[in-house]
């Protein structure tokens, strides 16, 4: 999109220097287009900057959620490992089942979310 706008701007700027177009209504239209783009350049840059800020903000939120998810996976794995290392592992399964339930809920939620995003 930006490339198209820049191409139109450059073509409009130099339209009056092309001998076949010099003094024609198209050359005047091109000059007016160039002036409009020159006046609106700040608005165009602001819109692009706002879009990029939005994209980076979404990426930041995604990374935060991913980091939280990773920490949960590590906690669950740690609980599983410590459970398996016990001598009497069969007596206390509550911590393991709680950690496993948290992970199952998270995965089920993520599957519903990804299913909604598919067309």
Q: What is the pLDDT of residue 118?
A: 52
Give pLDDT tens digits for 99-114: 666 666 666 665 555 5
Q: How far is Cα 103 from Cα 111, in angstroms, rounded to an integer?
A: 12
Q: What is the pLDDT of residue 117?
A: 57
Residue 32 pLDDT exceeds 80? yes
Hey, what are 78's tokens?
């740690």
| Residue matched to tokens 């602001």 | 46
The CA-to-CA distance between both ends of the chain, in Å, stands at 25
Q: What is the pLDDT of residue 23?
A: 77
Q: Rounded to the nearest 5 degrees, what angle is found at the Cα of 97, between the Cα atoms of 73 and 111? A: 50
Domain span including residue 30: 2-117
Residue 8 pLDDT exceeds 70? yes
Q: What is the pLDDT of residue 110?
A: 59
Total domain count for the chain? Answer: 1
Give per-residue burial for 13-49: e unless 16+ CB within 10 Å, then b.
bebbeeeeeeeeeebeebeebbeebeeeeeeeeeeee
CB 21 within 8 A of CB 33: no
What are the angstrom distances between the C-alpha of 43 and each of 1, 52, 85, 86? 14, 14, 63, 65
Q: What is the pLDDT of residue 54?
A: 94
Give pLDDT tens digits for 42-101: 998 899 899 999 999 999 999 998 998 888 888 888 877 877 777 765 655 566 666 666
Q: Is the pTM of this model over 0.75?
A: no
């Amino acid at each position: 999109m930006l490339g198209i706008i820049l191409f139109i701007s450059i073509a409009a700027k130099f339209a009056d220097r092309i001998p076949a177009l010099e003094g024609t209504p198209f050359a005047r239209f091109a000059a007016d287009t160039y002036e409009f783009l020159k006046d609106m350049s700040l608005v165009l840059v602001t819109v692009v900057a706002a879009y990029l800020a939005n994209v980076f903000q979404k990426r930041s939120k995604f990374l935060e959620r991913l980091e939280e998810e990773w920490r949960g996976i590590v906690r669950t794995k740690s609980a599983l490992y410590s459970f398996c290392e016990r001598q009497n592992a069969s007596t206390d399964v509550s911590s393991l089942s709680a950690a496993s339930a948290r992970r199952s809920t998270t995965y089920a939620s993520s599957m519903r979310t990804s299913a909604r995003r598919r067309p």
